[in-house]
Amino acid sequence: MRYNAAVTRFPTITDAAVAELRARIGRPVPRPEPYIETATRDAIRHWAHGIGDRNPRWQRGEAPPTILFAMDRIVSGYVGGLPGIHAMYAGTDFRWRRPIREGDRLAGASVLLDLVEKPSRFARRAFQQTYRTTFTAADGAVVCEADSWCFRTERDTARERGKYAEVTPHRYRDEEIAAIRRAYAAEAARGAEPRYWNDVKEGETLPEIVKGPLTVTSVIAFVQGWGSLYVRAHGLAFDMFARHPALAIPNALGVPEPPERVHWDEEFARAVGVPGAYDYGPERVAWLGHLVTNWMGDAGQLERLSVQVRRHNLIGDTTWCRGVVRAKEGMDDRAVVHLDLVAENQRGERTATGTATVALPRR
């Protein structure tokens, strides 16, 4: 049984709905229940495993900085307003003030920062919806401030306009899998040996890391560490649908399921205009964060990570994460490097781009 787009029609963006959402700008957003409230040893391990980060640093009382995705749903792409209008996560700009440590209990407080209509070849109307989330520790100190944004698009018009051509899933040869296996075996974190600011050269490249090939299994592994936006079981799912009816989209059996199933349901992904099921955008932000923390070593601190998700990372795609040192900045008590980052798939397409700022020790 297949999804029938002729039977199920999705809502469109109306001026009234946009005005109602725009009125919320600057106002606090009710916080959805977080998946993780405290960065326990188990939570840190599950997040690191979910993004495939094998750095031993995360076994010694510190958490990967991007664990904040698991500690707040809004920074992960949870949006309000425009019921029934698809939300595609498109990026996050993290600004950390200190590392996240085992035992930290962090709370995110969010406001709707902006709502901007964007020209779109993908849908008749599209809006960039941005939230600002401030994470504070139990003592009230701000640990991180992050802006996250999604694009809201009409599902039917996105499909009917056909921006995305059909993509033939990549069939891997034995030698391609062997090359990916070798890349995983060669991956190494800098570790305890300091990377000194003095030794870094502008234009030098970071050792690349590979992620994938993306499978439904790896998507599930990520959800185990991250927690998802709308995945709920049994009565909890029906409770959610009662509160938010637009989330209850019937599947081929007539059973309500959330729109999040675009990440494993090929037919539903095509119904919203995408060639097939695809990853969660925060994964690629976390993967580029993994690239940076491997390079900087235990003495380095990631101060800023800003990533824009550019294209869908489809089931079957392999992502190569790469970086280059763009600039160095040294002042009296501050030594940082600025990095340019990119994620590319096996077709040579850039699926994410970003920047990072890292503080390093001096000699």
The partner residues of 154 in beta bridges, in order of sequence, read none
Whole-number Å distance between alpha carbons of 258 and 261: 6
Helix residue ranges per DSSP H, 51-199 = 68-71, 155-161, 174-186
Q: H or E stretch including 58?
A: none
DSSP string for 238-287: HHHHHH-GGG-EE-TTS-EE-GGGGGT-HHHHHHTT-SS-B--HHHHHHH
Residues 288/321, Cβ–Cβ less than 8 Å: yes
Structure-block tokens of residue 353: 């781009």
The partner residues of 327 in beta bridges, in order of sequence, read 338
Q: What is the residue-averaged pLDDT of the chain?
A: 93
Answer with the residue of higher pLDDT: 167 or 104: 104
Whole-number Å distance between alpha carbons of 62 and 291: 17
Structure-block tokens of residue 294: 């491997």
**According to the model, what pLDDT value does residue 86 have?**
86
Map tokens 């600011």 to a residue. Answer: 197
Q: What is the mean pLDDT of residues 161-180?
A: 83
Structure-block tokens of residue 39: 């960065």
Lowest-confidence pick of 154-158, 180-184, 195-199, 353-357 = 154-158
pLDDT digits (tens, 9 = 90+) for 157-169: 555 555 556 788 8
Report the candidate in 345, 45, 76, 56 with the shortest Cα–Cα distance to residue 212: 345
Q: In CATH, what number does 15-359 get?
A: 3.10.129.10
Indicate the domain borders of the chain: 15-359
DSSP state of 278: B
Whole-number Å distance between alpha carbons of 284 and 105: 25
The partner residues of 330 in beta bridges, in order of sequence, read 335
Residue partners of 250: CB distance under 8 A and separation at least 6: 8, 256, 257
Q: What is the mean pLDDT of residues 12-21?
A: 94
Answer with the residue of higher pLDDT: 9 or 362: 362
Confidence of residue 46 (pLDDT cuts 50, 70, 90): very high
Confidence of residue 118 (pLDDT cuts 50, 70, 90): confident
Report the candidate in 133, 76, 131, 143 with the shortest Cα–Cα distance to residue 103: 143
**Rounded to the nearest 5 degrees, what angle is found at the Cα of 345, between the Cα atoms of 303 and 297?**
30
pLDDT digits (tens, 9 = 90+) for 294-335: 999 999 999 999 999 999 999 999 999 999 999 999 987 889
